[in-house]
Amino acid sequence: MNFSEGSAESKKQFPSKSLLLAVCAACIGGTFQYGYNVSVINAPTQSVQKFINQTWRERYQTGISEDVLTLLWSTIVSMFTLGGFVGVTIGGTLSVKLGRKGTLLTNNIFALLAALLMGLSHPAGSFELLIIGRLLSGINAGIGLCVQPLYLGEIAPTAIRGAMGMGTSVFITGGILTGQVMGLKELLGREEHWPILLSTTCIPAFLQLLILPWFPESPRYLLIDKADDEGCKKALKQLHGMAACDGEREDIEKEKNNLVGFQAKKPWELFTDRSLRWQLLTIIVLSIAQQLSGINAIYFYAEYMFKQSGIPVDKIPYATVGTGACECITALTCGMLIECLGRKVLIAGGYTLMSICCILFTLTLTFQDASPVFPYLSMVCVFAFILSFGLGPGGVTNILITELFTQNARPAAYMIAGSVNWLSFFSIGMIFPFIVLGLKQYCFLVFLVVCCSVGTYIFLVVPETKNKTFLEIQNEFQSSNKRKVGSSDGAGTTLLTTSI
């Protein structure tokens, strides 16, 4: 390779300003909202429960029982998960009908309504508005988690698709960190400020409505789904510039030619397509593992964990902010490493490190009373666990869902992966308290089994997807299917790439 070729290749590794801004515009109202709403509800827990108690007393002239109060608070928290499940089941369909960009913009209606209802709940004296608001926030997050990674994967060039896809993870962790910081008493964490704190979810929505319209729809969606050749050319020029435009368009044309006559698949059709069974199994396993690995249990019950670790009560909010900052930094690091080390090394390595952290955390909690050092070692294990999650599973999972499917199956794949993800999210929130009560310091051994099993599955089954087109990845899986079955599934099951 001569010098000019090397220069051109290195130049290709860097995204244009327009592409970076499009990623930020999509993420700020997408996965940032998910991360923000997961963490922001933790700070006003006692204030909201006090509001529910006062409202109940004013209505019924009697105090609310502890059981009913716990039930109402649990309902407010869990409505977000239910809304997420609803959102992800309609997100894929909307992305086909309205487009990726159109769906992201429309999705902000749910965030704005949620902010309005939660902000009015206190002056209106209605905790029911909080329940509805959290449901709408969940729908917004569910649609965003389904459609935004789809958009990022389709606008990014092949050479840096992994790095651009890490925008999903970076903005989730950024949202979590922002929610934790906003909940500090120095900002909006005081009792009288909780309605304002919960209604700040409108800010990312307004930002996206202002910025995203200036950027184009997904070029793949325009050419493959809408047959809009001119729109695709214009979008590619804006996102990648004139120099890289032709190469990306050629890649999209190849995929379009292989999908002639194919309609967008429905989720249930993926289950009956034998050529997609390993891809489907992989995204289901990864989606379940992302929740059952223990990461959300740490965030949901961070205060409990730090109390067990011996951290003073008045320092716990700051320790929690530290966990958010830790994961955010790791997500950024993963974004820089993913095109160098590849997806498989990062995600398998992440689960391996999380397995080690589970063992160490269990040991430090078991011997917590043996020495004053052990509570702080437990805290170190919590941070190490979060770092390990952010290094691979937190960011790479969504990228793999994009890369393992072609255009006609991708929205349905996101609907399935998202549904599994939200159901697992809900399940771990319900089950973890009982795991803690029953197993005490051995509770993380459950997550150890999950992390070890998934790490082994990735090592044995999932191929490396770095620097491969969607068609090349699809063909690699189908070749693997043939080797496993021992015979072909029939004529035409292998996608044939156009000769270069």
CA distance 474 to 495: 7
In whole angstroms, give the CA distance from residue 223 to residue 236: 11
Residues 154 and 278 in one domain: no
Q: Confirm whether 223 is domain-assigned.
A: no
Say if residue 290 is in the same domain as residue 403.
yes
What residues have CB less than 8 Å from 230, skipping those under 6 apart? none
In a domain, 101, yes or no: yes
- Do 279 and 353 share a domain, yes or no? yes
* Cβ atoms of 102 and 226 closer than 8 Å: no
Pair 204, 282 in one domain: no
Q: Supply the pLDDT for residue 147.
A: 92
Do 187 and 273 sit in the same domain of this protein?
no
Cα 107 to Cα 141: distance, rounded to the nearest angstrom = 9
pTM for the structure as a whole: 0.82
Query: What is the structure's pLDDT at 108?
Result: 96
Is residue 62 in some structural domain?
A: yes
Give the per-residue pLDDT at 438.
Answer: 77
Q: What is the pLDDT of residue 383?
A: 81
Mean pLDDT by 10 residues, the chain (500 residues): 41 73 92 90 87 90 85 86 91 90 95 95 92 95 91 84 82 90 88 91 95 93 87 88 75 76 76 85 90 71 64 77 83 81 88 91 80 77 84 82 82 87 79 72 84 91 81 75 51 34
Q: Which of 183, 199, 215 is the last residue of a domain?
A: 215
Looking at residue 339, its pLDDT comes to 77
Check whether residue 272 and residue 150 sit in a common domain: no
pLDDT at 312: 76
Residue 315 belongs to a domain: yes
Say yes or no: 361 and 463 in one domain: yes
Residue that is last in its domain, among 215, 245, 274: 215
- In-domain check, residue 230: no
Residue 404 within a domain: yes
To 5 degrees, how large is the angle CA 16–CA 22–CA 28? 135
* Assigned domain for 92 exists: yes
Rounding to the nearest 10 degrees, give the CA dihedral for residues 331, 335, 341, 343.
80
The whole-number pLDDT of residue 480 equals 65
- Count the residues in the chain: 500
Question: Residue 166 is part of which domain span?
Answer: 15-215
State which of 182, 198, 215 marks the end of a domain: 215
What CATH number should be reported for the domain holding residue 395? 1.20.1250.20
Residue 449: per-residue pLDDT: 92
Same domain, 290 and 153: no
Looking at the structure, do residues 157 and 84 belong to the same domain, yes or no?
yes
Both 275 and 166 in a single domain? no
Are 379 and 470 part of one and the same domain? yes
What is the per-residue pLDDT for 103? 95
Whether 175 and 297 share a structural domain: no
Residue 310: inside a domain, yes or no? yes
How many domains does the chain divide into? 2
